Structure 1
Amino acid sequence: MIVTTAQKPTPEQTAYAQAIAAELEGRFVPRKQDSLQLLGRKYEDPVLLVADDRGLRYYEDSKEPLYFHPSMAYVRVKRMRKGERDPLIALTGCLPGDSVIDCTAGLGSDSIVFSYGVGASGKVTALESERVLYTVVREGLRSYRTGHEDVNDALRRIGMRCIDHLSYLKQQADKSADIVYFDPMFRHPLHDSSALAPLRGLANGAALSEESVKQALRVARKCVVLKEHGDSGEFERLGFEKRHRNKIAYGVIIPS
């Protein structure tokens, strides 16, 4: 993987790109005036990571980049700021001060909603097993700015961990979190999306295991929640009570 900067970077931007390259064991290459396509051909590497003031943008074969953006999470949080109840917050019974483990962070959308819901007295831990995706999202949560300081604070409060969720859950004490949440990569997308296509290339597509659910039930005090297709057989396979919402459904298990 090539790590580079925007054209005409500042010394600080160059140092930032070099640090990211070292972290990801990539190859730092000065951008100069080269296009990304030219860099890829010159160094015979189709995977590029651009580091600049906007965070990190990941390219593979010069396709649409993967980058952090709160997207619909920001829309949902703005509704919450107006006093509206988010369906996921309502379903989980999430309250200020709660502790949440998002086992499959992806681009962090649901982690952002949870972080706003639990507030400054709560805690959200977002787990991502794929290192490049973890780094892109971690840096985005650190640097992205919305037009609302309370939303920015919610982004900054999320604790990212680069670890697979089963390993992490096994390390946690019994009843040590309020909510454990799973949103695994859908095996079959609901529709084609150019925005999510780069994520599919990076994210862990493995099916959720029964052992992961067992560990989640040991750790959770309030509930364990699974997000999946409305017609998915994963709910029945893993013992979740399915609750529909349009084409997407949430499954819930209340720990005994």
Structure 2
Amino acid sequence: MIITTPQKPSPELWAYAGQLSEELGGRLVDRKQHSLTMLKKRYADDRLLVVDPSGLRYYEHSDEPLYFHPSMAYVRVKRLRKGERDPLMDISGCQQGDTVLDCTAGLGSDAIVFAYAVGKEGHVTAIESEPILCAVVRDGLKTYKTMHEDVNEAFRRIEMQCVNHRNYLQSLPDKSVDIVYFDPMFRKPVHESSALEPLRSVANADALDEETIRHAVRVARKSVVLKEHAASGEFERLGFACKHVNKIAYGVIKPT
């Protein structure tokens, strides 16, 4: 993987690119006046991470980059700011002060909503097993700014961890978090979601297994929640009761 910057990076940005190169094992390349296409051809590598002041952009076999944007999460949070309800927050039983473990962070959308809902007294840990995706989202959560400072503060409160979620769950004591949440890559993709295509190239596509769910139930005090396609058989396979159905469904397990 190539790691580069805009054509005239600041010393701070170049140093940050160097840190990411060490973290991700990429080749740090001085951009100079070269185009991204030229860099790909020169180094015979289609994987390219641009370290830009406006956020990280990752390209892989496409001209469409993967980058951080809150998208519908921001819309959902603005609804919460108005006192409206959010189905996931209701189904999970999320309240201010809760601790939440998002085991499949992806682009961080649900972690953002959880972080706003739990407030300053709560805590959200977002697990992402894929290093490039984790780096892109971690950077975005630290730097992205909306027009609402309380929303920006929610972004900054999220703790990103690059680790396998099963291993992380195994390390936790019983009843140590309030909510454990899973939003894996759907077994039956929503094909009209073309905006997710850059994500699919880097996301972990592995299905959840029963052992992971057992640890999640052991660790959670309030609920374990799974987001899946409404037609998925994952809820039945993994022991979840389906609580909300549209194109997207949520399943929940209430620990005893």
TM-score by length of 2: 0.98
**2:166: which partner in 1?**
166
Q: State the one-letter code of the partner of 2:113.
A: V
Distance 1:90 1:187 in 2: 25
Separation in 2, partners of 1:57, 1:228: 27
Which letter maps to 1:245? V
Cα deviation for residue 20 of structure 1 reads 1.1
Aligned 1:32-71 pairs, distance under 5 A: 32-71=32-71
Task: Name the % identity.
Answer: 66
Deviation, 1:9, is 1.6
Cα distance in 1, alignment partners of residues 244 and 252 from structure 2: 11
Indicate if the aligned counterparts of 2:91 and 2:243 stay in contact, CA closer than 8 A: no
Determine the structure 2 residue equivalent to 1:251: 251
What is the Cα deviation at residue 62 of structure 1? 3.7
Counterpart in the other structure of 2:96: 96
8 Å contact kept, 1:64–1:194: no
**Aligned alpha-carbon RMSD (Å):** 1.0
Partners of 1:193 and 1:80 in 2: how far apart?
Answer: 24
Aligned to 1:196, the other structure's residue is in SS state helix
Secondary structure class of the residue paired with 1:151: helix
Taking the TM superposition and a 5 Å limit, the aligned residue runs for 1:140-219 are 140-219=140-219
For residue 79 of structure 1, report the CA deviation from its aligned partner. 0.7
Residue 13 of structure 1 aligns to which amino acid in structure 2?
L
Q: CA deviation at 1:188?
A: 2.7
How much does 1:54 deviate?
Answer: 1.2
* Partners of 2:128 and 2:162 within 8 A in 1: yes
Partner of 2:81: 81
Alpha-carbon distance in structure 2 between the residues aligned to 1:253 and 1:53: 42
Structure 2 gap segments, 5+ residues each:
none
Q: TM-score of the superposition, structure 1-length normalised?
A: 0.98
Give the drift of 1:245: 3.0
Indicate the larger mover: 16-25 or 175-184.
16-25
Matches within 5 A, 1:212-227: 212-227=212-227
Aligned length: 256
> What do residues 200-250 of structure 1 show as CA deviations (whole Å, max 9, x unaligned)?
110110001000110000000001000001111000001100123311100
Per-residue Cα deviation, 1:82-130 (whole angstroms, up to 9, x for no partner): 1111111111110000000000000000000000000000010000011
SS of aligned partner of 1:202: coil
